[in-house]
Structure formats: C-alpha cells, structure tokens
Structure 1
Amino acid sequence: MLLASFFGVVMGLVLGLTGAGGGILAVPALVLGLGWTMTQAAPVALFAVGSAAAIGAIDGLRHGLVRYRAALLIALLGAVFSPVGIFFAHQLPEKVLMILFSLLMVLVASRMLRRERHDEGPSDHGHANWGQKNCMLDQQTGRFSWTAKCTATLAALGAVTGVVSGLLGVGGGFLIVPAFKQLTDVQMRGIVATSLMVISLISAIGVIGAFQAGVRIDSLGYTFIAASIVGMIIGRKLCARIPPRALQTGFAAICIVVAAYMLFRTAM
C-alpha cells in the first residue's frame, strides 16, 4: 500500500510539472514495482493519469489556458480509436507489450533531451509567421483559425493518441505536447493545460472501455489513483519554480533507466 502511494505521488508530480510523461511512468511503476501484468496495469494507469490530469485541466480552464475546442476534437478521435488499442492489447503477448512500451520510453526520452528554442511572450501566442505551422492562433481573437489543414492535423493526432492510449495504458501527453509545439504556435503554458484536458478525456474513455471489457480495479489500484491526484496538486504548485530543462533532462534519464530494466526483465 505504501509503495503504491509512493509511485502514485511520483507519477502525479511528473504529470503536473510537465503536462506529459506521467502515464509513461505509471505503467512501469505498477509492472516493476507491484508485480502486475501489462493488461492489469494499463487501466489503473489510465484511471490514475486521467484523474490527475483532470485536476490540472480544471486549473488551466480557470486561467483561460485550455484550447478546449482543440482538446475536444483530439479527445473525440481518441475515443473512436482507443478501443482499437485495447483490442490489440488483449491479443498481443505480454513480452511484446513490454518491448513496445520500452521502445516508447526511449522515444520519449530522446524527445525530452532534444534542445528546443524557447519563445518568450506575455501572452499565449507564439512568434511563428503564417504558413509555418499547421494550426495558427488568430492574433485578434486568440483562438485557432480552423482551416481544413488544422482540423485534419488535430484529428490525426487524436487518432494516434487514442490507439497508443488503449494499447499501452498511457494518457498520450508525450505525443500531444511535442506535437503541439511542432504544429501550432501556442505557448508552453497553453500546451500543458490543453494536453492535460485531452489526457483526462481520453483516459476516461479508455477506463470505461476497460470496465466494459470486464477489467476491475482493487484497493491497491485505487490507492495508487488517489496518490497520483495528490502528486498532481503538488506538481502544479511547483511547476513555476523548477527550470524546464532540468526537469526534462531528469525525466529523460529516468525513462532510459526504466526502459533498459524493462527490456532486461523481458529478456530474462
């Protein structure tokens, strides 16, 4: 019970600080720390990530940071494609799922370690010029200009996020955050808030699908979920005090170590 609480707090903390990455740590914590299988861990991880993300999303909505139309579109496509991931999760062998998850962690770590230009600005607008990004904010309204290209881009992101979420039990923040940075001119604080809303919605849909498939969560799982919410609250309070680069480097190092250990366990 104590171990589940500890891992839950850490997962929520990472999610609150970065807007991504919590789910990528939740599954290894349950599999390696508590001895669960991937199929057991995935719905609990989704529930924990979704609950913690909802707390952060509500805070983002209060401050007007969430791009809620974009979040709803991504979540809608995620809802459609999440059952596809859940289906394959129950068809693939445990070792294959472990290998896929390990490779995913390495990919996330490499993205985190990649240095990126940081745009300073008093608002949530970036400094890209028209044509440089698939989705651009209208400089007068502060909202996305919903072109066909922008809509298709966000819909595709939702579909991919939904499949990965259902397959591996992750919220998808590790996909949403870098995709938003690459494809839109939204500033980082808006990206994190929007990512948290998408994660909470997609995770909720994935959990409902898992329950319909007969999955049940025990008391240990609910302890992990409650602890993750506590971690999220702490993370949201600390996020302005920790240098983003230090946070990314530390998180990437953890991902690489955990991925290596998971591959070692799979090989054994």
Structure 2
Amino acid sequence: MTLITLLLVLGIGIGVGMIMGLTGAGGGMLAVPALVYSQGWTMQQAMPVALLAVSLGAMIGAIDGLRRKQVRYKAATLMALAGAPLTSLGILVAKNMSQRWLMLAFSTVLLIVVARLIFQAKTQLLGSAHSTERQDAMACVNRETGKFDWTIKTASVIGLIGACAGFFTGLLGVGGGFIIVPLLRHFTNLSMQSAAATSLMVIALVGSVAVTSAILHGAEIPLLFSLVFALTSVTGVLLGRRVANLLPSATVQVIFAGMLVLVAFSFLVKAF
C-alpha cells in the first residue's frame, strides 16, 4: 500500500465514520462511491469492503448507544432478523445488474434520501409537531418505560422496516440506515438520537451477514486495505458520536444532504 493510498484510506474512513456517527446512516453511501473513484474499482468490488468498514463502525457506535440507553435492542434485533434473509437476495440482484443500471439505482435512492433529509430539516427548523412526544405513531414507545409497547402492529411495522433495509444493504452495499432512520422517525415516536443509535445496531448485525454472504458468493476483500479502512471508520464513528451532541440535528441533515447530492449527480454523469 503506497503512502498516497494510505492517506486516501485514512481520509475516506474517518469521513465515512463521522457521517455515520452523526446521523446513524450514510456510511455506505459515501464509502462505496469513495472507493469506486479513489481505487478505480467497480461498485461490486467496493461494496463488500465498504460493508465491512461500515458494519464494524456501526458496532462500535451501537455499543456507545447501548451504554447511553438509546438503543431499542429488541426492535433492532427484529429488524435484523427480518432484513438478513433479504440481504442475500439483494446481493444476487446486484450481481446480475449492469454497472450503469446499478449506478442509476444508487443515484435514485440517494436523491430520494436527500428529499427526505431536507424535509425533516425544514420541519425541525419550523418547529413542527414531529416531536418525540407524539403518540399518533403506528409504533409507540411508552413514555414511562422508554420501551416499545409491543403489539402485532408494532412488530409488523418494525419488521417491514428491517426487511427494506436488508434488501438495499445487499443491493447497494450500504448499511441501510438511510432507510431505517427516516422510517423509524416517521412511523414511531423515537427521538432522533434513539433512532440513530438503534439504526447503528441493525447496520452492525445485517452488515455482518451481508459481508459473509458476499464472501460466500465469491467477493474478494483485500485484507490490509480493508483492515485500515475499517479501523479509521471506527475512529470516525466515535468522533461523530461526540460531535453529534454539539450540533443541531437539522444542521447535520442539511450538510449530509448536500454531500449526497454531489455523489448522486456524479454517479448519474458517470452512468451516462
């Protein structure tokens, strides 16, 4: 590994980790294109390496969230169980897609996420009623216990969120947090901090399954490169978790949305 490559890996890893620590999402979205451009890899080559780093970083972030009692671990486990089987389906679909269509799909998902992030940021800045106290959500956390009131409806909502996240984890090589966090915020009354922490636990569990599945399907992971990338991502996650306590979530979401717009349009240009 050359010095230039090492510096690139350090920069990308810390940047990816910080975004994931700040938002509970976005690690894979930035890691995959960063590896594609910096290493000249295809998306199929970049996905397992990105997932390995994102999964390890998410695990460290989830442990921090558990320590702070922000992780709803039963919901995270259910989402992981629902998402894991569909991860392999996503990987199989990705292997049979052309590079152009995979990039177009990736860009489309990014732009959908951007629209959602901007809407959430606007809602927060205007002081909308989407607060942690709302009790009209489909799946509600009990204010006295701090845990979900488990019903068939609650389990169904949480399971479907996990299933969607699992499929896109395998298809696009991303952690799935870009689906988990917005859907948890929309369909439950979890706070942003708790949604992000719970998302990190799901990413760690589902991402580990996805990496194993990718290897079993013949993916090659450069050991030294992946190890350095994963360790720097963990460092970034820990930094991001600290910074998250200092910045308004709306500010973080706008910055994140701007970065994703740049990535999405660069992939659209490359696809055509």
TM-score, with length taken from structure 1: 0.93
Contact 2:52 2:226 in 1 (8 A): no
Task: Pick from 67, 76, 85 the counterpart of residue 71 of structure 1.
Answer: 76
1:247–1:142 distance in 2 versus 1, CA, 3 Å: closer
Contact 2:23 2:196 in 1 (8 A): yes
Partner of 1:194: 198
Task: Report deviation, 1:137.
Answer: 1.5
Contact 2:124 2:250 in 1 (8 A): no
* Structure 2 counterparts to residues 84-95 of structure 1, below 5 A: 84-95=89-100
Alignment partner of 1:5 is 2:10:
yes
Task: Pick from 212, 219, 243 the counterpart of residue 215 of structure 1.
Answer: 219
SS in 2 for 1:112: helix
Q: Which runs of 5 or more residues in structure 2 are unaligned?
A: 1-5
Code of the aligned partner of 1:14: I
- Poorly superposed stretches of 4+, deviation over 3 Å: 117-120
Contact 1:4 1:34 in 2 (8 A): no
Partner of 2:171: 167
Alignment partner of 1:150 is 2:157:
no
Partner of 1:236: 241
Task: Pick from 115, 122, 127 the counterpart of residue 133 of structure 2.
Answer: 127
Task: Pick from 111, 114, 123 the counterpart of residue 106 of structure 1.
Answer: 111
1:34 and 1:259 map into 2 onto residues whose CA distance is 18
How many residues align structurally? 261
2:234 and 2:143 map into 1 onto residues whose CA distance is 35
Task: Pick from 188, 201, 212 the counterpart of residue 184 of structure 1.
Answer: 188
Contact 1:10 1:231 in 2 (8 A): yes
SS in 2 for 1:88: helix
Task: Pick from 218, 243, 247 the counterpart of residue 252 of structure 2.
Answer: 247
Contact 2:24 2:196 in 1 (8 A): yes
1:194 and 1:217 map into 2 onto residues whose CA distance is 28
1:55 and 1:186 map into 2 onto residues whose CA distance is 21
Task: Report deviation, 1:102.
Answer: 1.0
Q: Which runs of 5 or more residues in structure 1 are unaligned?
A: none
Partner of 1:204: 208
2:32 and 2:218 map into 1 onto residues whose CA distance is 19
Code of the aligned partner of 2:134: A
Code of the aligned partner of 2:158: L
1:44 and 1:152 map into 2 onto residues whose CA distance is 32
Task: Report deviation, 1:236.
Answer: 1.2
1:237 and 1:127 map into 2 onto residues whose CA distance is 25
Task: Report deviation, 1:82.
Answer: 0.5
1:230 and 1:84 map into 2 onto residues whose CA distance is 31
Partner of 1:226: 231
Alignment partner of 1:265 is 2:266:
no
Contact 1:19 1:196 in 2 (8 A): yes
Alignment partner of 1:43 is 2:44:
no
